[in-house]
């Protein structure tokens, strides 16, 4: 995924990739700040990821989606086909961490190459594709199929920071990490990168590194408040307090939609 081109890769896949011809697709290009594209490409090349393509599957017509199959054909040209030497069709597999747009990519390829509709279900949370699906045709000449697979995270996540980045990009179910902690990491990242569009979006006067202050602002602006009963020495009273979790969720959702600007977390 674009915002996490390094953290968003499952190192366990690397072994498989070393024996099979492969192309690394960095999707969700619309959400990423690509001003440092060369730095990322260099780092990827060092770990054997020389073939990289940036895509945006939400765009009706994406030039890079058009380049994908010709690139694949070039990569597999003259490669041994082992037991499949006789067959003229190709079967590719799309693998990656959850929610990066693997199924969307298959649908985009079908739309672009075959003018056909969706074949794989897509959704805004991890775990939409639950099993390796039957192969889906994405090209006629040559006959090419793609196997969609469920997103897989590495069994052990390298560091807390990598975990937070993966969570922010929706590869882990939010409630397993906690929206409040994720919002705090998001604010820290935006400030570190000098991406202050959150101020304008939520009517803040100045940047802040105090997540409670920011979430309170968001809650009040979005009217995400809750009335709770408080017991005082003078009796029971009802007070209105900000709904921090709802505010945190809105903050994260805005980031994922690109409403806080294009960001590169890695």
Ligand X SMILES: Nc1nc2c(ncn2[C@@H]2O[C@H](COP(=O)(O)OP(=O)(O)OP(=O)(O)O)[C@@H](O)[C@H]2O)c(=O)[nH]1
Sheet strands side by side (includes 136-139): 90-94, 144-148, 136-139
| Interacting span for ligand X (CB under 6 A) from 9-17, 75-83, 102-110, 135-143 | 102-110
Residue nearest to Mg ion (CB): 129
CA 13 to the chain's CA centroid: 17
Which CB atom, from 121 or from 212, has the smaller least distance to Mg ion? 121
In whole angstroms, how close is the CB of 127 to Mg ion at the nearest point?
A: 9
The CA distances from residue 31 to 3, 211, 238, 264, in Å, are: 7, 23, 42, 8
Residues 172 and 187: their CA atoms lie apart, in Å, by 19
Task: Indicate whether 64 belongs to the interface with Mg ion (CB under 5 A).
Answer: no
Q: Is 108 a binder of Mg ion (CB under 5 A)?
A: no
Question: With binding defined as CB under 5 A, does residue 99 bind Mg ion?
Answer: no
> Does 10 belong to an annotated binding site?
no
The stretch among 41-49, 78-86, 127-135, 237-245 that binds ligand X (CB under 6 A) is 127-135
The reply on whether position 27 binds ligand X by CB under 6 A is: yes
For ligand X, which residue has the nearest CB?
A: 151
Nearer to ligand X, 32 or 72 (CB): 32
Span near ligand X by CB under 6 A; candidates 42-50, 94-102, 159-167, 187-195: 94-102
Q: Does 104 bind Mg ion (CB under 5 A)?
A: no
Q: Which is nearer to ligand X, 212 or 257 (CB)?
A: 257
Task: Report if residue 5 touches ligand X, rule: CB under 6 A.
Answer: no
Check if the beta carbon of residue 218 is closer than 8 Å to that of residue 249: no
**Alpha-carbon gap, residue 134 to 124, rounded angstroms:** 22
Q: For the chain, give me the number of helices (H) and strands (E)?
A: 10, 7
C-alpha 91/C-alpha 98 separation (Å) is: 21
Choosing from 113, 129, 243, 245, the residue that interacts with Mg ion (CB under 5 A) is 129
Residue 173 CB, shortest distance to ligand X, in Å, is: 11
DSSP, residue by residue, 169-189 = TTSS-HHHH-HHHHHHHHHHH
Which residues, 58 to 87, sit near ligand X by CB under 6 A? Answer: 58
Does 101 count as an annotated binding residue? yes
Measured between alpha carbons, how far is 190 from 33 in angstroms, rounded to an integer?
A: 12
Shortest Cβ 148–ligand X spacing (Å): 7
CB atoms within 10 A of CB 194: 7
104 binds, among ligand X, Mg ion, none (CB under 5 to 8 A by kind): ligand X
Q: What tokens does 202 get?
A: 């939520």
Residues annotated in a binding site for GTP: 27-30, 99-104, 151
């Amino acid at each position: 995924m674009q915002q996490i081109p390094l953290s968003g890769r499952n190192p366990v896949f690397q072994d498989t990739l070393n024996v099979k011809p492969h192309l690394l697709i960095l999707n969700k290009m619309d959400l990423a700040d690509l001003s440092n594209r060369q730095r990322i490409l260099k780092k990827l090349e060092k770990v054997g990821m020389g073939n990289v393509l940036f895509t945006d599957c939400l765009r009706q017509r994406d030039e890079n989606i058009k380049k994908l199959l010709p690139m694949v054909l070039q990569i597999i040209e003259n490669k041994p086909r082992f037991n499949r030497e006789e067959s003229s069709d190709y079967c590719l597999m799309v693998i990656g961490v959850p929610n990066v747009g693997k199924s969307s990519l298959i649908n985009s390829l079908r739309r672009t190459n075959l003018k056909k509709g969706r074949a794989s279900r897509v959704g805004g949370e991890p775990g939409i594709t639950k099993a390796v699906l039957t192969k889906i045709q994405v090209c006629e000449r040559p006959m090419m199929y793609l196997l969609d697979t469920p997103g897989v995270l590495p069994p052990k996540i390298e560091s807390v920071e990598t975990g937070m980045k993966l969570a922010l990009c929706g590869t882990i179910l939010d409630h397993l990490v906690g929206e409040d902690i994720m919002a705090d990491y998001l604010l820290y990242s935006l400030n570190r990168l000098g991406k202050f569009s959150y101020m304008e979006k939520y009517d803040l006067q100045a940047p802040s590194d105090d997540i409670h202050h920011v979430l309170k602002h968001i809650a009040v602006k979005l009217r995400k408040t809750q009335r709770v009963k408080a017991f005082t020495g003078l009796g029971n009273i009802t007070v209105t307090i900000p709904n921090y979790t709802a505010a945190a969720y809105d903050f994260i959702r805005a980031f994922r939609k690109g409403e806080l600007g294009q960001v590169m977390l890695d």
